[in-house]
Amino acid sequence: MKQMQLIKIIGQELRQRKLVILLLLACIFSALAVVQMSHLNRQLTIQQEVNYQQRDQLDTEWRNLLLEQRALAEHSRVEEIARRQLNMQRPTGKLDVMVQLP
């Protein structure tokens, strides 16, 4: 009997304080949303740092490849490869041919 009366009293109090309960639930959901957004922000910040590091590594690799390309294209290197692999020689004065335009 007393238990039924207590339940009735609690029900009446809840009906009278609907706005307070609604605001309490809104505060709880808002707090959970803030926590979720903070977590996502941290994850995105970490991913951004990883991307910056990867960009820096790729930039360094690109610069090294440019240096290697320049080194491979040097005249002396091309001349050395022509001598060694193709048995080519620089023409001497006797072998020089001069072409004159008419």
- The pTM is what? 0.54
Place of tokens 């609907």: 18
pLDDT at 11: 84
Higher pLDDT, 85 or 98: 85
Output phi, psi for 80, to 5 deg: -65, -45
Give the residue carrying structure tokens 């007393």: 2
Percent over 90 (pLDDT), the chain: 44
Domain ranges in the chain are: 2-86
What is the tens place of the pLDDT at every residue in 25-54? Answer: 999 999 999 999 999 999 999 999 999 999
For residues 45 and 14, the model is more confident at 45
